[in-house]
Amino acid sequence: MSYAGRVSKSGFSRNVAEPPGSGQDPGLSGPRASSGEPASRLKVAILSTDARDLLRNYHEVVPKFGTAPQALFEGLALFPEVEVHVISCTQQPMQSPAKLAENIFFHSLRVPKIGWMRTGFQGCIRATRKALKQIRPDIVHGQGTERDCAMDAVFSGLPNVLTIHGNIAELARFLKSPMGSYWWFAARLENLALRRTFGVFCNSEYTEGLVRPRAQRTWRVPNAVRLPFFQAPRKTPPQGKCRLLSIGQVCPRKRQVELLEMARQLHQQGLDFELEFLGLATESDSYTATFFERLKEAEAKGFARFSGLKLGEELIACFDGAHALVHFPNEEAFGLAVAEALARDLKLFAARLGGIVDICKDVPGVELFEPEDWQGLRTALANWMRGGPPRSVGSAGTMNARYHPSVVAQRHLEIYREVLQSSLARQNGLPVSARQRNVAT
């Protein structure tokens, strides 16, 4: 999961057109209604990892979130009739703002190390329950099963839903995680959380297929693309050498070593290009060490380089300075880098798997290949570069219609309403047919 998101000190931008339905009372009733507290304004608690804790950047004063949660917060900031409380557990105290936006409050909860994975996140669960008793939300939304958020949500004692960002059980299987390892435990906690929650947001057909057998209910809701990818003026890439991008943490799933070998073969054909790798890298990992060892030759010959993690405006500048994105993983829950590239009208060469298939459906300027068809990918890239690589046009409008934060946030509010109505029907003992009619209204 990528933690590239960040909020500005002034909160999320609202310098966009109001989304459909903005300003309307969602008319939701939840736990506060039964206690006599006014519930005309929906109150949502979203449990999300603050990447300052994940990256041990405790000195920073501005919260950081994953790209998908941040884009959701940007969308929810456009609905002032909704009150949102973002809760993040952390192992060290940090200075944090009280608000992320006018209607989005932030709560950072310190939990000692003993309260994390080694105890099934018991400390995080208890700290979150204590905070929720004071906040009194209508519904709780846990973002991801990688850490504590899902467990905090399903043991909150309130109506709750989850979002799957990375399929942890599938990841543990792919990595052959040994018994007792972090991912082995995380996969089992994921299974527990999916069984207990009211329903699960799945960001692709692939994810939904993995989750559906383990959950009561699923909804297919894509990740949102952050607002700046739609707002920033697009720039034309420089003439001359063809510039290709590969984005993702250096690891076997993203296959940077294999992409580097393909680039070497294209270079041997006399093609003038540069493949730029962006993302995090842990050099102590053997796969990453192999990548950097082979990168030395590529950098010396000028056909590849590694530029590290790029965030915000820097990342957008990288997209706008490139001609194409090459994204060829062997597993992908969603593929947010793909949606971001298409939002900047970038040409795409990618593997036909996971969420990439959903993103690229009926989108111009994309070329998809079977995950092991390296020959097809190499041939397509060579032919495209020989023809003088043009920038693709037409994909940005489709991405805006599907993945704009306001669109995705609106769908979240609809599902919150459905869950709360269904929960209220169960509390009132309505028969199934009546409950279904209630949810449909």
144-164, pLDDT tens digit by residue? 999 999 999 999 999 999 999
Local structure of 33: helix, strand or coil: helix
**What gap in Å lies between CA 342 and CA 363, rounded to an integer?**
9
Pick from 427, 425, 404, 406: nearest CA to 82:
406
pLDDT-derived band at 365 (thresholds 50, 70, 90) equals: confident
- Domain 228-400 annotated CATH 3.30.300.30: no
Residue-wise pLDDT for 370-418, tens only, equals: 999 999 999 999 999 998 877 766 899 999 999 999 999 999 999 999 9
Q: What is the mean pLDDT of the chain?
A: 88
Look up the pTM and report it. Answer: 0.85
Q: State the pLDDT at residue 39.
A: 52
**Range list of H helices, 321-431:** 336-343, 354-360, 374-386, 395-403, 405-427
**What gap in Å lies between CA 377 and CA 367, rounded to an integer?**
9
Asked whether 97 and 6 are in contact (CB, 8 A), the reply is no
Residue-wise pLDDT for 102-135, tens only, equals: 999 999 999 999 999 999 999 999 999 999 999 9
Residue-wise pLDDT for 407-433, tens only, equals: 999 999 999 999 999 988 777 775 544
**What gap in Å lies between CA 349 and CA 341, rounded to an integer?**
11
Residue-wise pLDDT for 266-278, tens only, equals: 999 999 999 999 9
**What gap in Å lies between CA 337 and CA 33, rounded to an integer?**
41
Region 334-357: mean pLDDT is 96
Pick from 181, 187, 45, 53: nearest CA to 111:
53
Q: State the pLDDT at residue 285.
A: 85
Q: State the pLDDT at residue 393.
A: 67
Local structure of 351: helix, strand or coil: strand
Every domain range in the chain assigned CATH 3.40.50.2000: 26-224+406-440, 228-400
Structure tokens at 404: 């704009």
- Domain 26-224+406-440 annotated CATH 3.40.50.2000: yes
For every residue of 246-278, DSSP letters joined together read: EES-SSTTTTHHHHHHHHHHHHHTT--EEEEEE
